[in-house]
Structure 1
Amino acid sequence: MGIVLNQSFKNTIITYLGFGIGAINTLYLYPVFLGATYYAVTNYILSAANVIMPLFAIGMQNTLVKFYSQNKTEDERNQFLSFTVLFPLLLCIPLLIIGFVFLDDITAFVTKKNPVVEEFILLIPFTGLCMAYFEIFYAWARVHMHSVFGNFIKEVGLRLFSSIALIGLYFNWISLVEFVYVTAAIYFLALLVTMAYAFYIKKPHFQFAIPSNVKDILVYTFYIILSGSVANLLLDGDKLMLNQYMVIENIAYYSVATYIALVISVPSRAMHQIVYPITAKLMHDNKHDELNDLYKKSSINLQIVGGFVMLCIFVNINELYELVPKEYAGGIPVVFMIGLSKYFDLILGNNNAIIFNSKYYRMVLFLGLILVFLTVVLNMIFIPLYGIFGSAFATLLSITLYSLAKLLFVVKRMHLYPFTKQTIESIVLTTVLFLLFYFWEFPFHPIIGIGLKSILVTIAYVYLNYRFKISLEINQVIDSIIKKMLPKIR
């Protein structure tokens, strides 16, 4: 777990720094500088691009991680890297042609309720293509155990440049319409920088050759395309559905709530960058016991860190919403519903990495397709009835069922189990602290109240987790920090 903890720690710090910048953007700059309409438009463009991104990447970012370690010679590795970069282009071109042929029909469908989207419709495939190749070159770096820089670009760079663009909007350097185009340009810049870094780590020697195991690669890739589409539809499909049923400003209100809840999944995203290739190698080497140990450790460690984040958000949610414009304040129930779904997914540890690197990934994928269908149906039922609350409930139900299906599949088929008695202890501890602190409000400015309550929650949470030894790895980290601080105190 040494390299995992090392790079996971760096990735967690970077990711939270990015989310801190994103929080400023989401809670203040977007609502105040951009306004609900164009904030919603920008969010819709990015969500739609993220949904179609797996089609452009055709799963090569996952394929690269799974199969790279199986190439033993330098020539084989060069052939494989070349294939993962060049092959998606062969499929992107016909997809783009089909999109242009049916452009009028697609535009009429997505702009039926909100015509303001029409002007920016071409930015969706452009941004989706940039996202796809960013992920491919990021995977190029990750297989060489360099996950930190790409994570910095993804989590910090994109949001920092968005902040700069928002400031430019405030000073009238760019218009509202131009801001949407600048956002797409930022993703293109991220792609160029990540590509340059990937080539710096491993100088490319492009070869127009087909790998010897191309059949296995293509079969795996086909299923990964579908699985990526499933995951992204579960993540962003609700915003696309809201565009079809409600005025577009509701996407802005929903986006603020989901962004706050999404912070809970940051530890999982950070650890995933380095755990994924390690999981792939353990499975390739048939090291079942080590894999099971990694599964349990990743589960409880993510549960503790993610539970802390969720606890801080939930107990401060009322004060937090006092900082945003009043029209956004109705999203508090959305935060709770989406937050709980993220927490349940988070405590599954490296479940996704295990599934997508196993021979059983096809069956789980079909479960995902069923759940995407369920998500669409539930949104169609609940959005007209309850608006953004209905969409949040549909998302909670869908993601929970999807996570539960993946968990049961790994337990039954692969005899791997992530939970221990510490799992229950952590849930009980988190619940008790929530009940103690949620109803406690300080008569100060919201920022001061959030700060004070967060300090008290942190002290109680860290002490109780340490006292009851919920995670030995986290206790070791705390012990090492204490040892480093003691000489300075003396």
Structure 2
Amino acid sequence: MGIVLNQSLKNTIITYIGFAIGGISTIFLFPSILGKTYYGLSNYILSCANVIMPLFAIGMQNTLVKFYSQCKTEKEQNQFLSFSVLFPLVLTIPLLLLGLFFYDEISLFVTKKNPIVKEFIYLIPFIGLCMAYFEIFYAWARVHMHSVFGNFIKEVGLRLFSLVALVGMYLGWITAIEFIYLTAGIYFVALLITMLYAFRVKKPEFQLSIPHNVKGILEYTFYIILSGSVANLLLDGDKIMLNQYMDIGNIAFYSVATYIALVISVPSRAMHQIVYPITAKLMHENKHDELNDLYKKTSVNLQIVGGFVMLCIFVNIDQLYEMLPKDYAGGIWIVFIIGLSKYFDLILGNNNAIIFNSKYYRMVLFLGLMLVFFTIVLNMIFIPLYGITGSAIATLLSITIYSVAKLMFVVKRMHLYPFTIQTIYSILITAILFVLFYFWKFPFHPIIGIVLKSILVTILYVYINYRFSISKEINQVLNSLIKKLKF
């Protein structure tokens, strides 16, 4: 258990460092150095690659983690590792050949609004393949209890190399076009480094053989392919659809806004890592009341923490955008819209963990497919009407429908309820503080204004939530800190 806790802590720190580097690059450097056209193009290529990645990986990164522990002998382990690396080629090679056969049709479809994309189309499957095999070799290391290095490459390394390339462009060493190609090279290098590390952890002995439990593996893999495709399409599908309706530079505006809004969901990652195994244990032991209590606690705690992050972003958003090129100002509304969708998802607590650990786990896939349908249809309706803001509206509506469907499913089928009167109090506190601080602007440099306003918001938000005891768990943490500070 010491290894698990140690690596979990390191991975959490690495994730936040990577997110900080990505935030600095996304908000301040990419817009001014790369320019809206090539920044939008870069985001479009990476988004498309991320969407097709699960098809190239065939879900093997998850399958490897799930089934490796079932291998009882060294021979079975080698067979399964070999199968995990070689089997994705069975689907990848035909997909690549199919892409080459229909290249003209694909090219015509994706470039009808933005011809600049045509020159870089082949980078999409190349990066997608690099992403897929990176995940497979990262899983290879993880099953041997070596998760930190791969996570560092994924969360920090890729962003750091991209930042270095961006500095190179700023200094005139490379052009914008060369930056796009260099980005593809960075993903290839990340794959090679991770592969060599995985082989160092466990020396490969490749065998052309099929594992004895191949039927169960393929069934699980099929489910993971669909689930992974749905998840990645939801994450990047809106950027892909924007390319079909608008100038590619608008993807740059949209990407900056969505990255800012994404910060709201970051606190949930740490809590879900802790809560997921607890949820599984309670469901396995059939402790309904304790599970219901945990559901309520995760809901209100995530609401308070996520609400605080959202409040700090919302009240400072105008000052933050003052530091960006004027072209990006239209993204302010997107931050509000996407931010609200993330906030609504937060207050559902450990809803996903409950469904995944129940006998209804396949329902997540069904609901996910429903969400993809609504996302595509709503984007087709709202992008022509309202541009990038329309895409944000489509995301808000589709995620709200998805979240309500998951909530109603858990409530009706499992009789579990996440909300209490504290939920309403927390919403009111957040709304009132937003009204008080949003229209108040310090007559200083934006950074100084953001810092001062954030300090005031933090003091009031923490005090009010503590005073009215919105969350007993958070109050206990604060009481513990107060006691330590007194001594």
TM-score using structure 1 length: 0.88
1:447: Cα distance to partner?
0.6
Q: CA deviation at 1:9?
A: 5.7
Q: Within the alignment, does 1:405 sit opposite 2:397 as a pair?
A: no
The CA deviation string for residues 391-442 of structure 1, in whole angstroms up to 9 with x for no partner, is: 1101111112122222333343345544455444433332232222222211
Letter in structure 2 aligned against 1:20: A
- Report if the CA contact (8 A) 2:263-2:309 is conserved: yes
Match of 2:111 in 1: 111
Residue 444 of structure 1: aligned partner: 444
* Kept in 2: contact 1:4–1:275 (CA 8 A): no
Kept in 2: contact 1:131–1:187 (CA 8 A): yes
Aligned partners of 2:211 and 2:412: how far apart in 1?
Answer: 34
Q: When the two structures are aligned, how many residues end up with a matched partner? A: 486
| Equivalent position of 1:166 in the other structure | 166
Counterpart in the other structure of 1:462:
462
1:367 is displaced (CA, Å) by: 2.6
Moved more, 213-222 or 111-120: 213-222
Asked if 1:331 corresponds to 2:331, the answer is yes
Measured after TM superposition, the shift of residue 36 of structure 1 is 0.6
Taking the TM superposition and a 5 Å limit, the aligned residue runs for 1:233-382 are 233-272=233-272, 278=277, 282=281, 295-382=295-382
| Partner of residue 221, structure 2 | 221
**Which secondary structure does the structure 1 equivalent of 2:324 belong to?**
coil
Cα distance in 2, alignment partners of residues 330 and 462 from structure 1: 31
1:448–1:134 distance in 2 versus 1, CA, 3 Å: same
Shift of 1:370: 2.5
Per-residue CA deviations over 1:367-409 (Å, capped at 9, x if unaligned) read 3222212211111111111111111101111112122222333
The code of the aligned residue for 1:218 comes to: L
**Is the CA contact 1:8–1:270 (under 8 Å) kept in the aligned structure 2?**
no
Q: Following the alignment from structure 2 to structure 1, what is the Cα–Cα distance between the partners of residues 454 and 69? A: 43
The alignment's C-alpha RMSD in Å is: 3.2
C-alpha change, 1:232 and 1:147, in structure 2 (3 Å) is same
**Is contact 1:66-1:357 (8 Å) kept?**
no
Asked whether the equivalents of residues 280 and 353 of structure 2 are also in contact (C-alpha less than 8 Å), the reply is no
Contact in 1 for aligned 2:57/2:132 (Cα 8 Å): yes
Matches within 5 A, 1:125-164: 125-142=125-142, 147-164=147-164
Name the CA distance, whole Å, in 1 between partners of 2:156 and 2:410: 33
Separation in 2, partners of 1:240, 1:368: 18
The alignment partner of 2:87 has SS state of helix
Match of 2:183 in 1: 183
Q: Distance in 1 between matches of 2:351 and 2:197?
A: 29
Pair 1:113–1:324, CA change in 2 (3 A): same
Cα distance in 2 for partners of 1:12, 1:157 equals 15
Aligned to 1:32: 32
SS at match of 2:34: helix
**Contact map agreement 1:21 1:159 (CA 8 A) in 2:** yes
Distance 1:92 1:285, change over 3 A: farther
For structure 2, the 5+ residue unaligned runs are none
Partner in structure 1 of residue 395 of structure 2: 395
One-letter code of the match for 2:448? Answer: I
Report if the CA contact (8 A) 2:50-2:236 is conserved. yes
Does structure 2 retain, via aligned residues, the 8 Å contact 1:315–1:434?
yes
User: Match for 1:36: what amino acid?
Assistant: K
Distance 1:40 1:444, change over 3 A: same
- CA pair 447-48 structure 1, distance change in 2 beyond 3 A: same
Say if 1:79 and 1:209, in contact at 8 Å, map to a contact too.
yes
CA distance in 2, matches of 1:121, 1:19: 28
Equivalent residue letter for 1:386: Y
Alignment partners' CA distance in 1, 2:204 and 2:474 = 39
Partner of 2:48: 48
Q: Distance in 2 between matches of 1:409 and 1:387?
A: 33
> Contact (CA 8 Å) 1:341, 1:396: kept in 2 or not?
yes
Q: Whole-Å Cα distance in 1 between the matches of residues 406 and 197 of structure 2?
A: 34
Aligned to 1:117, the other structure's residue is in SS state helix
> What TM-score do you get using the length of structure 2 for normalisation?
0.88
Following superposition, the deviation at residue 172 of structure 1 comes to: 1.4
Match for residue 84 of structure 1?
Answer: 84
Which segments of 5 or more consecutive residues in structure 1 lack a partner in the other structure? Answer: none
Question: 1: CA distance between counterparts of 2:3 and 2:422?
Answer: 24
1:78–1:168 distance in 2 versus 1, CA, 3 Å: same
Are the counterparts in 1 of residues 44 and 240 from structure 2 also a CA contact under 8 Å? yes
Q: Is the 8 A contact 2:18 2:156 kept in 1?
A: yes
Q: What's the offset of the Cα at 1:297?
A: 5.0
1: CA distance, partners of 2:387 / 2:159: 28
Q: Is the 8 A contact 1:242 1:251 kept in 2?
A: yes
Moved more, 459-468 or 227-236: 459-468
2:81 and 2:273 mapped to 1: Cα distance?
A: 19
Between 146-155 and 30-39, the greater mean CA deviation after superposition? 146-155
Call closer, same or farther: CA 1:461–1:83 in 2, change over 3 Å: farther
Structure-to-structure mapping, 1:203-214, within 5 angstroms: 206=206, 208-214=208-214
Shift of 1:324: 0.3
- Cα 1:457–1:225 change in 2 (3 A) is same
Q: Which moved more, 1:214-223 or 1:445-454?
A: 214-223
Compared CA separation, residues 149 and 408, structure 1 to 2 (3 A): farther
Per the TM alignment, residue 197 of structure 1 is displaced from its structure 2 partner at its CA by 4.4
User: How far apart in 2 are the matches of 1:280 and 1:397?
Assistant: 28
| Contact 1:12/1:266, CA 8 A, preserved across alignment | no
In structure 1, give the amino acid aligned to 2:318: N
SS, match of residue 173 in structure 1 = coil
8 Å Cα contact 1:110-1:243 kept in structure 2? yes
Residue identity in the other structure for 1:162: S
Q: Which residue of 2 aligns with 1:385?
A: 385
Q: Residue 207 of structure 1: CA displacement?
A: 5.0
Q: Is the 8 A contact 1:4 1:271 kept in 2?
A: no
Distance 2:347 2:143 in 1: 25
Contact 1:245–1:384 at 8 Å: present in 2 too?
A: yes
Q: Distance in 2 between matches of 1:461 and 1:91?
A: 52
Change (3 A) 1:430 1:416: same
